[in-house]
Structure 1
Amino acid sequence: MREYEDPTRPVDERVDDLLGRMTLEEKAGQLFQHMITSGPLDESDAVFGLPSAKEYVLGKHMTHWNLLGVPGDAREIAEWHNRLQALCHETRLGIPATIATDPRHGFTDNPGTALLSGPFSQWPETLGLAATRDVALMEQHADIARQEYLAVGLRTALHPQVDLATEPRWARANGTFGEDATLTGQMGAAYVRGFQGPVFGADSVSTMTKHFPGGGPQKDGEDPHFAYGREQVYPGGRFAEHLEPFKALLAAGTRQMMPYYGMPVGLEGIPEVGFGFNKPVLDLLRDDLGFDGIICTDWGLVTDAEAFGQPFPARAWGVEHLSVEDRVALILDAGGDQLGGEACPEVVVSLVQQGRITQERVDASVRRLLREKFLLGLFDERRYVDVDAAAAIVGSDEFRAAGVSAQAAAVTVLTNDGILPLAPGLRIYAEGFEGTVHDPADADVAILRLQAPYEQRGPGFESFFHAGSLDFPAAEIERVNAISAQVPTILDVYLDRPAILTPLVEGAAAVVVNFGAGTGPLLDALRGAARGRLPFDLPRSMAAVEASREDVPFDTADPLFRFGHGLTV
């Protein structure tokens, strides 16, 4: 038995022993985390344009991946995980795989940010958990997610997202806890505790908090996945306020940190380059805030790619002119440990051979990454998972019931003329689910389920990002108000961003908003289970949004409903 394989040895000794046995190529492979799907290990993925697992492991010496897609059941994920671990086990050093994932417990289906729940228990989105104001519920959710992840071998959560949603148009608000720094810090810390447990170890899921130093202040609310949204601005001078939630999560023990794509504009002493390339920003994290965990860049900073049949340039904002080698060198010089969404370890090998990056610099990052694997038990008892246990744990009746209850609790009642709580036996005309009558004229009440409005930004991958105006189209306003005039109407609006509800509120008998709720939980909420409170202001008009400052919370003039508003019924 080699020393690093001995579970009785101290972790740091095991790390040093393994590091001393690794070639430069094997070390370089650890510095990359790309996407993978749960198909056959010897087949590439044509849909996402990904190499096979064997090419990753045997050709590139990689051992970190972000699992894409939504496999049909837990058994399928667990069996695939074990096959992948066996492939890694058979390599010269047997370094185990670390599988990460974007959130999998909500309603969002955006392959760039989150995935449908599939076999996992389904909960409200993060905004909804914030709306409950229930720290214990937040920790329960994270603990259940931890158990489900652990059962199938998912060991890194590419979340939580603690950006402050200070720009109402931003497409990523759905994954945040809203625009209040204190609430975000409290809920985010509970999230970390639930995923990592009281002691970080073999029963933990490592949390990668994002997006340092706060991704909310996007110019005009556009998203930096795309070149037109690359600028992050601070007209109100609130850079420091966006750091506050990260401080709370560092205190809670988050293990990893992801800098954002955004390119800060107009900040003294900070270059106008994306945060993953930005040494003063990563020095702030390391030196001022004392973080010694793993820094992993957001996905795809270095190489151009293709997504959903469309060209997808690297998000190398501010350094578009640099070569791939220069970009990788800049990330490592800035203090990054791992490149997300990339698979080019040969570039690191070349940089070391050229003398541009030292072996010692590579070793520092590899040591952090290996130590995490040892602490997670991946070299020992947690290398493989129990397939039968996975099938029983993931999506269990108990876990699903907890998620359903949380969906109902997060529903937030904005107005109510007395129609709520909903009485039994009413004839319901419904849009968004099956009612008891098919014509508003025959109904005692109408329930209309609406989606917060957005503007289509482009085809393919762009289509998943809801951006632009928060106004409902005039024709939709006219249609909804016509129904409200005909029958007492309850409007239920799914808020993945704030919406301008001003033209709809007066005519409705009640207005509620949800943050991910199935039909059953919604009806439970309307019967009295709703207890949510808004996690952000709801602006009165787009004019107020356009006049507000991107980095300043609660900055739209005279909001229609304020942060914390929510009625009991």
Structure 2
Amino acid sequence: MEKKWSQEEKDGYRLIHNEGGKDLGISSGSRVAILSEDGYAFKDFLGTGKIVPYEDWRLPAGERAADLASRLSIEDIAGLMLYSAHQLIPAKGPLAAAFGGTYDGKAFEESGASPWDLTDQQKEFIVKDRVRHVLIMKLQDTETAVRWNNKLQALAENTGFGIPANNSSDPRHGAGSSAEYMGVTGEPISKWANGIGLTAAFEPEAVREFGEIGAAEYRALGITTALSPQIDLATEPRWMRFADTFGEHTELTVEMTRAYCEGFQTTKNSQDGWGDESVNTMVKHFPGGGPCEAGRDGHYAYGKYAVYPGGKFEEHLRPFTEGAFSLKGGTKTASAVMPYYTISYGVDQTYGENVGNSFSKYIVNDLLRGRLGYDGVVCTDWGITHDMGKTEEEFAGKCWGVEGLTEAERHLKALEAGVDQFGGNNDAGPVLEAYRLGCEKYGEEAMRSRFERSAARLLLNMFRTGLFENPYLDMEHSCQVVGCREFSEKGYL
């Protein structure tokens, strides 16, 4: 059989070109061998010498995801269900106390480490806890982003099943960076208006173009999931997150949501819209976090309720049903959904529960999964399984409505509700304990099936964005893309 692939050496990895097929990136000195079939190259993640379905880039992403999910241990799936706490790269500066890490047990400033070195904690959660979803907050610069990403992906590639890291970010393109969930963005990314500013242009096509540019910059930084857009209807002007919404007008929010998601998710000239230019969107916050009681926010115990005044609950669903879940392009629907911290007070007339949305079987299973037919990833907001603070004003865990449960019991309740993933959790222990509790309650076969279902959803978003083929970044390309003059000028205009 004629050889249909060639390779070139890059900085820290090899890039293999398949004629008319997928390019493969593989770290230098990797344990993963290359197999050849029909003249093409494939990664032998399992080391069996034979190509299994999840290693075969010719197969549909859904088939590959289901195959790999069936092979994973419960420990591996528990790792997939974790979404890391905010990462500073490097872990230094005034935010390090809250979000930091260590390098060989030392603070960055004392360690002699390079800015792109992995922290002790990152190494541990990738290898021990098998975390594959990493939330990036601060990046020192583009070079740091590229080198750090390639180190992280090399570690993931050489661990377990070779599942790559799906890195994500809260919105990075806003001209202001003082919001607590954004931290400080150091890389020279192009700057744009925030959500309500984008809507004020009344141009969905401009928002779609922003999505395309944002996706290009994200991919050049190693980011493949956007924890955005924020599509809550802004019906409460006292709410602190008002400015990041698309505003109070339902039809405008629907149009901007659709344009944003299609811009970020679509790879041009792809049959199904997905590919190596795509960035998964995680729309938030289901079922609409705008009407926080008296404008008090759900990050704090004093703001745990959403009240939906005027009998308008259904109106808050429309940005999801008519926008995020009704894309006109090939990707069809936003790939992930994040419920808000809040208790949607009095909405659950089936079970009569007033609990945080991610703990609500009615909100996630009956409404989102059942009535609305959504089968993508459902990821909790950050820290909902952790204990709340000593006072209502303390920024701590957000276990609204289930304060009396243990951490493992909260994980199980969210799983029972239909959640796939836990934001802000690096530790697999509580998820594994939830699995044990679930086995006692439902039987091991049922719990295995439940975990595997979530694993397939989570893996699908990695396969569709090409991470299993090439998660590595080319320094020259990234530096040319991030914050380039063309993108920056368009953002300014």
Q: Summarize the Cα distance change of 1:401–1:246 in structure 2 as closer, same or farther, 3 Å threshold.
A: same
- 1:219-276 Cα offsets, whole Å, 9 max, x none, are 1101010000111112311100111111121101211100000112233515211111
Residue identity opposite 1:295 in structure 2: V
Q: 2:466 aligns with which of 377, 386, 390?
A: 377
- 1:408-441 Cα offsets, whole Å, 9 max, x none, are xxxxxxxxxxxxxxxxxxxxxxxxxxxxxxxxxx
Partner of 1:19: 69
Q: Summarize the Cα distance change of 1:149–1:90 in structure 2 as closer, same or farther, 3 Å threshold.
A: same
Partner of 1:336: 419
Partner of 1:546: none
Q: 1:278 aligns with which of 354, 357, 360?
A: 360
Q: CA deviation at 1:117?
A: 5.1
Q: Summarize the Cα distance change of 1:14–1:338 in structure 2 as closer, same or farther, 3 Å threshold.
A: same
Provide the aligned C-alpha RMSD in A.
Answer: 2.1
Partner of 2:488: 400
Q: Which moved further from structure 2: 103-112 or 139-148?
A: 103-112
8 Å CA contact retained: 2:348, 2:363? no
8 Å CA contact retained: 1:105, 1:116? no
Rounded Cα–Cα distance in structure 2 between residues aligned with 1:19 and 1:254: 21
8 Å CA contact retained: 2:266, 2:274? yes
Q: CA deviation at 1:180?
A: 0.7
8 Å CA contact retained: 1:100, 1:158? yes
Query: Counterparts in 2 of 1:138-537, with a 5 A limit?
Result: 138-197=207-266, 199-247=273-321, 248-252=323-327, 253-267=333-347, 269=349, 271-282=353-364, 283-304=366-387, 312-354=395-437, 355=439, 356=441, 358-381=447-470, 383-405=471-493
8 Å CA contact retained: 1:277, 1:330? yes
Q: Summarize the Cα distance change of 1:112–1:361 in structure 2 as closer, same or farther, 3 Å threshold.
A: farther
8 Å CA contact retained: 2:211, 2:261? yes
Q: CA deviation at 1:12?
A: 3.3
Secondary structure, counterpart of 1:66 in structure 2: strand
Partner of 2:79: 29
Structure number with larger C-alpha Rg: 1
- 1:268-287 Cα offsets, whole Å, 9 max, x none, are 51521111111111121111
Secondary structure, counterpart of 1:187 in structure 2: helix
Rounded Cα–Cα distance in structure 2 between residues aligned with 1:298 and 1:250: 20
Residue identity opposite 1:96 in structure 2: P
| TM score, norm. by length of structure 2 | 0.77
Secondary structure, counterpart of 2:160 in structure 1: coil
Residue identity opposite 1:28 in structure 2: A
- 1:175-216 Cα offsets, whole Å, 9 max, x none, are 101111110010111001110116022220000000000001
**Percent of residue pairs bearing the same amino acid type:** 40
Q: CA deviation at 1:115?
A: 4.8
Q: Which moved further from structure 2: 268-277 or 122-131?
A: 268-277
Q: Summarize the Cα distance change of 1:102–1:256 in structure 2 as closer, same or farther, 3 Å threshold.
A: same
Q: Summarize the Cα distance change of 1:115–1:183 in structure 2 as closer, same or farther, 3 Å threshold.
A: farther
- 1:79-134 Cα offsets, whole Å, 9 max, x none, are 11111001101102111000010000013324543355541001111111110101
Rounded Cα–Cα distance in structure 1 between residues aligned with 2:76 and 2:281: 25
Runs of at least 5 residues in structure 2 that lack an aligned partner in the other structure: 1-43, 45-50, 102-119, 268-272, 328-332
- 1:292-320 Cα offsets, whole Å, 9 max, x none, are 100001110012489xxx96331111111
Secondary structure, counterpart of 1:312 in structure 2: coil
Rounded Cα–Cα distance in structure 2 between residues aligned with 1:245 and 1:184: 6
Aligned residue pairs total 398
Partner of 1:38: 89
1:127 maps onto 2:196 in alignment: yes
| TM score, norm. by length of structure 1 | 0.67
Q: CA deviation at 1:172?
A: 0.4
8 Å CA contact retained: 1:107, 1:116? no
Residue identity opposite 2:210 in structure 1: H
Q: CA deviation at 1:153?
A: 1.0
Residue identity opposite 1:158 in structure 2: L
Rounded Cα–Cα distance in structure 2 between residues aligned with 1:312 and 1:268: 27
Q: 2:124 aligns with which of 36, 52, 55?
A: 55
8 Å CA contact retained: 1:68, 1:111? no
